[in-house]
Structure 1
Amino acid sequence: MAKKKDESYDLSILRGRQYSKSNSLINAKGTTSLLAQKIFSVGIQQAQLDESTGQLITTLHGGDLRRIFGNKGGSFYEHIRDLVEPEKDKASLLDWRIIYTNDSTKELEALNVVTDCKFKDGILEMRYNNRITDQLYQLKENYTMFSLEETIPLKSIYSYRIYEILKSEFDKQSYLAHKRGENLDNSEPYMMVMNLTDLKLRLGIIDPNENKEIYNALKKSNVDFDYIEQLSQKSAERKKDKDASNTGKPKYSVFSTFRKNTLDKAKEELDEMTSIRFEYEPVKSGRGGKIHSIRFFIYDKKKTKVEVVEKKIVKVLTPEEKDEFIDSLNEIIEERLKMKDLRAIAEAAEYDLSKVEKAYRVMSSKSSVNDITAFMISAIKGGYEEPVKKTTQFNKYEQRADDFVELEKILLDN
């Protein structure tokens, strides 16, 4: 049973209040606190433009902030002051620096999000960097709108950032799919694959500003994320040299710890508190099976539900029978696949040839498929049907115009 949203938040004051960010800004890399992210979002929801400077300015009253964040103690103001007043070893709003790709110039930029702020007489005033005004104000395309009622109750900075990233991707793919007349009821999930190091950078686990070499590596047309991992390791080792209590290892360098504290926590929180939910699977490569990416499956909670599926008894085949089945796959699938891919497809189909044949017909109906094995496995597990062409066009969204890779994987809940 899903838990209720945190009662300490005054959801009535949040209801109907939304904020927008450019998709480029959503995918920015940098690190800050959860409270800073939330105050930033509340602020841009009601920010006004100073036409003389081109800066967005927001004024937030302490009483409203108390109601929004449900904090009744005097310590809440101390948290606000900590954010406003730079102090050694404490992150402030003025320290919040991001690296992102500007949609207009297509160049990588590094900047401080907030240029100045003050908290006086219970009122917080902030000025956003005028270089990101066009990423926050009067957006017409390539942006995503979020509900404060969904984001403010989130308890983890990683849940907050993963929600924004996945919601942005869901809206993009939903818009394009509806435009093509596909998935009109949003009952099927959308898939995205993200490099693990890239995800850590977006979540602030790896700070792109801690090492100039990381910034230079990100500026390259083909980013070498393995190299960035090495740079992060070197930074951690240097910290150990200065501080004996430091482990000398990058944060969440062990995947099981990363999974527990970021992905699993976000999965639970998003399912409880937001309009989307997600499943995920690690993507491995190489002999050692190193995890290099995460494959996300993003669902609209209003259109889908989790169903309990009865376990099936799977016939146990002999090695010879399995080899014969693989030979049959070679006859069905015209494209030449590696043996390990054929075996993966066979396992997904539980060695049922009819499932493979059906999935292959579905794949053949697509104009193009980048990853045949991934698509076949998803089509088998999802019971994918051949699409029925529809003429309905989706034209209500103004916001996304990018070209995105065609959805290739659909995976139903276990």
Structure 2
Amino acid sequence: MYDETKPLVFNQLNLVSKSNSLVEARYKLGTMEQKVIAAIASNISPDDKDFQTYTFSIKEFKELIGSKSKNIYHEIDKVMTKLMQPFNFINAEGKPTKIAWLSKATYNVGEGTVTVRFDPDLKPFFLFLNEKFTRYKLGNIIHLRRSYSIRIYELLKSYEGLAERTFTLEELRSKLGVENKYPHWINFRQRVLDPAKEELEEKTDIMFTYEPIKKGRSIEKVKFIIKPNPKNKTLMTNIVEQLEKVLENEDVLEIQEKGKELGLALPKKLVQEWLKYGKENVMELMESIQYRGDIENKIGYISSVLRKKAESEEKMADVDQVQKKIREVIHYFTPRQGARKVDLLPEWLVKSTAVDIFAKDMTPEEAEQLWEEKRDEIMEEINNRRRKVTT
């Protein structure tokens, strides 16, 4: 239903999927408009049978794209107005069509949010994509500063597996929406191609070089050589780290809000310390003391309980590790299936092997001490198993 809305999730690891016919189409959008379109597309599920209506926070979008604008609300208003206006869309077959990107764009006054929905005419370009489509992580384009860089990224990404792609200069100008700009090759190269080349190598998962192809004295075509970006691993690591920071901030805010219910003003640094013990543990503990009147210092109580619980879990983990080592020793001396007769083992023989096994994860002194503590338990279990074979 059109009245139902979903929150637009800004996750740089979300996948943007577009049909190649849309990637190849001729249209002109600014940098901000392209990022809004990509962010919405990245929330579409492969199972969606229709477009959803989404609401997003302008502040969160600003943080996602790293904007330093002091008037982001005005800019978003201009973006939404432009995306609602029909434009001359020239598809891959060269057929002119008037189409709008959005069928709905509501600025929620006082809430700092915008509600949006793709125009239904765009369904063939975003839904039910089984073949001939381009897919990439939102994080690859969300920090690009130039609209040309985004368009070139998508055009090359669709040919990534083929390693190279050639456009006529006229065709390339048209796809980038600069038919009447930078008429001289040197200006086009310096203002469009070189900056895009630098940005893609710095911020995306692909990189390219290009070769101008002449006809006579004029540049007729441009050949792009597309390569995977060796920096990609670092880039994606940075994206994941940024995402983790966003999620951590959300957790901090949620715990601070819960603190207000308990009458507590919780500093961010304190909450970050608590989060080391697990958000679920913190929230559960806060819930359990919300209506208790016998705790004077709730902050101190929460910190103490979280710390003690962590120490207890750490001790349990150590115990589990010790038991694992003991089972390894016992298993080492357990007779194989089918053995007919085995002898009971002397303590000195078992000790030598047990101490070697224990010493893999502790000092020789600690291994010796563990053997002394668990010797009787180990020997009894080993020889009981061996007795079962002989009887």
Structure with higher helix content: 2
Q: Is the 8 A contact 1:29 1:201 kept in 2?
A: yes
**Alignment deviations for residues 208-255 of structure 1 (CA, whole Å, 9 cap, x no partner):** xxxxxxxxxxxxxxxxxxxxxxxxxxxxxxxxxxxxxxxxxx311111
Please identify, of 39-48 and 133-142, the stretch whose mean Cα deviation from structure 2 is larger: 39-48
Q: Which residue of 2 aligns with 1:291?
A: 219
**Which amino acid is 1:166 matched to?**
L
1:203 aligns with 2:176: yes
Q: Is the 8 A contact 1:13 1:68 kept in 2?
A: yes
Q: Is the 8 A contact 2:205 2:231 kept in 1?
A: no
1:30 aligns with 2:27: yes
**Which amino acid is 1:152 matched to?**
I
3-state DSSP of counterpart to 2:158: helix
Question: Aligned partners of 2:173, 2:69: CA distance in 1, in Å?
Answer: 34
* Larger Rg over CA atoms: 2
3-state DSSP of counterpart to 1:299: strand
Alignment match of 2:165 (pick from 181, 188, 192): 192
Tell me, which stretches of 5 or more residues in structure 2 are unaligned?
Answer: 1-8, 233-391
Please identify, of 17-26 and 94-103, the stretch whose mean Cα deviation from structure 2 is larger: 94-103
**Which amino acid is 1:59 matched to?**
T
Q: Is the 8 A contact 1:59 1:126 kept in 2?
A: yes
Q: Which residue of 1 aligns with 2:103?
A: 115
Alignment match of 1:276 (pick from 206, 215, 223): 206
Question: Aligned partners of 1:61, 1:192: CA distance in 2, in Å?
Answer: 38
TM superposition score normalised by structure 1: 0.49
1:148 aligns with 2:76: no
Q: Which residue of 2 aligns with 1:69?
A: 65
Question: Aligned partners of 1:255, 1:66: CA distance in 2, in Å?
Answer: 35
3-state DSSP of counterpart to 2:13: coil
Residue 97 of structure 1 and its aligned partner are, at CA, apart by 2.5
Matched residues, number:
222
**Alignment deviations for residues 108-163 of structure 1 (CA, whole Å, 9 cap, x no partner):** 54422223312223221222221221211231111111111111111111011100
**Which amino acid is 1:193 matched to?**
T
Q: Is the 8 A contact 2:66 2:143 kept in 1?
A: no
Question: Aligned partners of 1:118, 1:99: CA distance in 2, in Å?
Answer: 24
Alignment match of 2:195 (pick from 236, 261, 265): 265
**Alignment deviations for residues 293-326 of structure 1 (CA, whole Å, 9 cap, x no partner):** 111111112399xxxxxxxxxxxxxxxxxxxxxx
Alignment match of 2:76 (pick from 80, 86, 101): 80
Cα 1:272/1:96, change in 2 over 3 Å: farther
Cα 1:110/1:292, change in 2 over 3 Å: farther
Residue 200 of structure 1 and its aligned partner are, at CA, apart by 1.1
Question: Aligned partners of 1:149, 1:191: CA distance in 2, in Å?
Answer: 23
Please identify, of 93-102 and 112-121, the stretch whose mean Cα deviation from structure 2 is larger: 93-102
Q: Is the 8 A contact 2:14 2:43 kept in 1?
A: no
3-state DSSP of counterpart to 1:204: coil
Q: Is the 8 A contact 1:56 1:130 kept in 2?
A: no
Residue 192 of structure 1 and its aligned partner are, at CA, apart by 1.1
Question: Aligned partners of 2:30, 2:156: CA distance in 1, in Å?
Answer: 19
Question: RMSD in angstroms over aligned alpha carbons?
Answer: 2.9
Cα 1:157/1:122, change in 2 over 3 Å: same
Residue 276 of structure 1 and its aligned partner are, at CA, apart by 0.9
